[in-house]
Amino acid sequence: MTGLFITLEGGDGSGKSTQSRLLSDWLAGQGRTVLGTREPGGTPVGVLIRDIVLHHRGEVAPRAEALLYAADRAQHINTTVRPALARGEVVIQDRYLDSSVAYQGAGRVLGGTEIRDLSLWAAEGLLPDLTILLDLDETTARGRLDDANKRFDRLEAEKADFHRRVRAAFLDLAAAEPDRFLVVDAAAPIDVIAAAIQARVTTLLR
Ligand code: TYD
């Protein structure tokens, strides 16, 4: 049996972990061995890198940040993902190189192409068989995350603008590679989304 590499992408709060769990259970029910993993932080080295990129207080320069995500990716793909695929397993991964293009690119300092090239160098060219984009408009995403009477301020507005750019970048990536991407409306009911994902994965398993 050949391995299958599936990634999930989308903004914060779009429901990636729920859908990866449902997909994993469904595939396991069909007798497939599934490895659920994530970036950043899918390896012991990655856990250390994740702590820097997500929790370091103080500035991290854009190129340094991009290289940290790429270093996490290089270690993860080499030591965890490729071996699992070689064993014929299905790898279901929360976030991959499209997150780098969308998030690091949305900072406006680095270009999407150079970030993608850096990621592909780190991962020795590995692209997913399928990337599921859980698309959610930023107002709904914020509504899910926010306290209803939180005050609007400039920082919040900047954040909203950033998330709009991230979402637009994901949709552009999906439009550029329609064969690799499945775009689903993350505002739809959980079981409707899961069924759409299962239908697409079924075509890949044939
Ligand atoms: P995580 O806690 O995994 O959040 P989520 O539940 O939204 O997946 O945090 C991952 C954060 O890292 C998320 O805000 C996106 C960001 N990220 C990048 O900026 N670049 C990357 O290459 C990756 C993989 C993640």
Domain boundaries, the chain: 4-205
Q: Give the residue with greater pLDDT, 147 vs 192.
A: 192
Is 40 a pocket residue for ligand 1 (Cβ < 6 Å)?
A: yes
Q: Kindly report the number of other CB atoms within 10 A of residue 129's CB atom.
A: 17
- Please tell me the distance between residue 99's alpha carbon and the centre of ligand 1 in angstroms: 7
Has residue 93 got a pLDDT over 70?
yes
pLDDT at residue number 157 = 78
- Write the CATH number of the domain with boundaries 4-205: 3.40.50.300
Does any ligand 1 atom lie closer than 6 A to the CB of residue 170?
no
> What band does 146 get if pLDDT is binned at 50, 70 and 90?
low
Q: Which pLDDT score, from 0 to 100, does residue 160 have?
A: 87
pLDDT, residue 166, reads 94
pLDDT attached to residue 152: 61
Q: Whose CA is nearest to atom 8 of ligand 1?
A: 12
Say what the pTM is.
0.93
